[in-house]
Amino acid sequence: MFSLTPLESEALMLSLRVGFWAVLGSLPFGLLIAWLLARVNFPGRAIVNGIVHLPLVLPPVVVGYLLLVTLGRNGPVGSLFHDWFGWTFAFTWQGAAIASAVVAFPLMVRSIRLGLDLVDRKLETAARTLGANRFDVFWSVTVPLVLPGILTGSVLAFARSIGEFGATITFVSNIPGQTQTLPLALYSATQAPGGDEAALRIVLVSCILAFAALATSELLARHVQRRLTGGTP
């Protein structure tokens, strides 16, 4: 009963792949946006902050539809990528990674920004007075100090990515073996006659992955914090 079928195993591996690339692709942008929102006062800052956090309040289906009309084969951005590079995002696992990254992006930015707010600005100022430029200060002082927030944001974004449903099914559909992640496999199981056992297996796997991600986030944050404080809990 609890042995995954080949199709369910494919959905599991695809979910992990989607989550990995969603986090890896969005992390540089998340770090940059979080730093801009936390440290730079610029015109339209409130608007940028609202746009970044919009996926938190929009229905995921709306996010998926916007991605479809923008990055689809006939969309303004998707058509350029197809004509110039031959890339197609809609109805592919790469599109699933993009959809997951967009939905999870606010969680990543919020975690990193909270970490930046806790950094003692005097340490950065001291590094500047010793001759370090802004780039060196950022990578040698700011990033190590905000590493717990980066790790927490990355793991939470990963957990959110592997659980994404609405934006994914709207943008890349539900194609077994190609775009069917665990949430989509669960949806298919609940729609099929006699799919209760398959649904239960997928639910258990999803719960285990979510719990593991949250536990990993907490352990990594504590480990890095101990390293930064010289071993003090």
pLDDT for residue 125: 81
pLDDT for residue 228: 64
Residues 140-152: what's their mean pLDDT? 86
Distance, CA of 71 to CA of 80 (rounded, Å): 9
pTM of the model: 0.89
pLDDT beyond 60 at 65: yes
Distance, CA of 37 to CA of 50 (rounded, Å): 11
Residues 22-39: what's their mean pLDDT? 93
- Whether the CB-CB separation of 142 and 116 falls below 8 Å is answered with yes
Distance, CA of 148 to CA of 43 (rounded, Å): 30
Question: Average pLDDT of the chain?
Answer: 88
Which domains are seen in the chain, by residue range?
A: 6-228 (1.10.3720.10)
Distance, CA of 143 to CA of 180 (rounded, Å): 36
pLDDT for residue 110: 93
Cα dihedral sign for 94, 146, 223, 163?
Answer: negative
pLDDT beyond 60 at 127: yes
Distance, CA of 19 to CA of 37 (rounded, Å): 25
